[in-house]
Amino acid sequence: MSEIDLSVVMTIVDGSRALTRCLEALCTQVESPTLEVLVPYDDTIHEVADLAKRFPTVTFLNLGALHPGRERPNPFEQHALYDRRRAAGLRLARGRLVAILEDRGRPRPDWARSMLELHRKPYAAVGGAIENGAGGSLRWAVFFTDFGRYQAPLEIDDPEYLTDVNICYKREALESVRKLWEYRYQEPRVNWALRRNGQRLHLSDRPRVIQEREEIGVGALLKERFHWGRLFGQIRGRETSALRCLIWAVATPVLPTLLFLRHFRHQLSKHKNVREFILAMPAILLLLHAWILGEFAGYCEAAWAGSRATPSTAL
């Protein structure tokens, strides 16, 4: 059996201060199991290597050139880089448990211990809760639209979604679906496959991270929302037929209103941060429309690819 209890693969999104905060939090866990922390990076964020001397117990993995050309990757291409870096970290992880965190999400001091304790039960994967540590209506809007479903209180068996910014797998469960993540890790595909295979997922508010997103302009954020919605539409579209993709695409005009009402109802049920939600409503609606436009594009792309390919080659 491996001497490492828990491997943590870090997804670098903001880098710099965010990554430093997150690594400091991991290196100061209370009553922590034996940790292995892996930080995969590529040439687009080569400055990450400068942190190696500051964190000698952390393994920094130089993946070289993953993005062709000299231009800065757009949000769609950046997400592909996140996925490929995570896959590289997962391939090299040696722990009995394998977790993924994002540098924007600083883990609380008992995060590692909580993950270890929860995995004493027969869960294939455990997702944790997320708190917002960033102020301003725009960043609250991002938090509500991305992570509203993961706010405490939280204890759900067999959830449909776990977030890749706070998740931990048993190694054998992860290996059972290795072909889905070996080149590019995308959490919906991996987690849905585990559920289809009869393995148990769990969502708990014990292992928490605090999301501390850096400031971002409205234009850049809308572009990000569009491309990330597009990616989700593609991923979801892979799981079904071209006809169903087109049906989902046709239904997208009603989704911003439905999603907004769902988010609002969910927030009311939590009895917390309702004032912040109300103040962020205009920004939430704006972000939802950008996401749905992207999701519409993703469904159309998935339908087109599915109609022109055999099941073995589609997308």
**How confident is the model at residue 76, as a pLDDT?**
84
Q: How many domains is the chain partitioned into structurally?
A: 2
Does any domain span residue 75?
yes
Does any domain span residue 187?
yes
Does any domain span residue 1?
no
DSSP-H helix ranges across the chain: 16-27, 75-92, 111-118, 137-147, 171-176, 178-181, 187-196, 218-238, 242-251, 255-270, 274-279, 281-308
**Which long-range CB contacts under 8 A does 196-201 form with residues at least 24 apart?**
199/124, 199/125, 199/173, 200/122, 200/123, 200/124, 200/157, 200/158, 201/123, 201/124, 201/125, 201/126, 201/127, 201/157, 201/158, 201/159, 201/162
- Whether the pLDDT of residue 71 is over 60: the answer is yes
**How confident is the model at residue 70, as a pLDDT?**
60
Q: What is the pTM of this model?
A: 0.89
Longest dimension (CA), the chain: 54
| DSSP SS3 for 72 | coil
| Residues 18 and 159 grouped into a single domain | yes
What does the pLDDT look like over 117-128, one tens digit per residue?
999 999 999 999
Q: What is the CATH number of the domain that holds 41?
A: 3.90.550.10
| Residues 146 and 15 grouped into a single domain | yes
| Residues 72 and 115 grouped into a single domain | yes
Q: What is the DSSP code (8-state) at residue 37?
A: E
End-of-domain residue from the set 165, 196, 211? 211
| Residues 301 and 223 grouped into a single domain | yes
| Residues 94 and 167 grouped into a single domain | yes
End-of-domain residue from the set 168, 193, 211? 211
Does any domain span residue 58?
yes
| Residues 166 and 58 grouped into a single domain | yes
End-of-domain residue from the set 211, 231, 265? 211
**How confident is the model at residue 1, as a pLDDT?**
41
What does the pLDDT look like over 193-243, one tens digit per residue?
999 999 999 999 999 999 998 888 899 899 999 999 999 999 888 878 888
| Residues 240 and 187 grouped into a single domain | no
- Position 311 confidence tier, pLDDT thresholds 50, 70, 90: very low
Does any domain span residue 315?
no
User: Counting Cβ atoms within 10 Å, is residue 161 exposed (0-12), middle (13-18) or buried (19+)?
Assistant: middle
Q: 236 is in which domain, residue-wise?
A: 218-308
Question: What is the average pLDDT value for the chain, to the nearest integer?
Answer: 91
| Residues 96 and 197 grouped into a single domain | yes
| Residues 86 and 181 grouped into a single domain | yes
Describe the crossing of helices 255-270 and 281-308 by its angle, rounded to 10 degrees: 130
| Residues 184 and 225 grouped into a single domain | no
| Residues 14 and 127 grouped into a single domain | yes
Does any domain span residue 314?
no
What does the pLDDT look like over 281-291, one tens digit per residue?
999 999 999 99
What does the pLDDT look like over 148-181, one tens digit per residue?
999 999 999 999 899 999 999 999 999 999 999 9
Sign of the four-CA dihedral 181, 186, 192, 194? positive
What does the pLDDT look like over 4-46, one tens digit per residue?
999 999 999 998 899 999 999 999 999 999 999 999 999 999 9
What does the pLDDT look like over 98-112, one tens digit per residue?
999 999 999 999 999
| Residues 248 and 205 grouped into a single domain | no
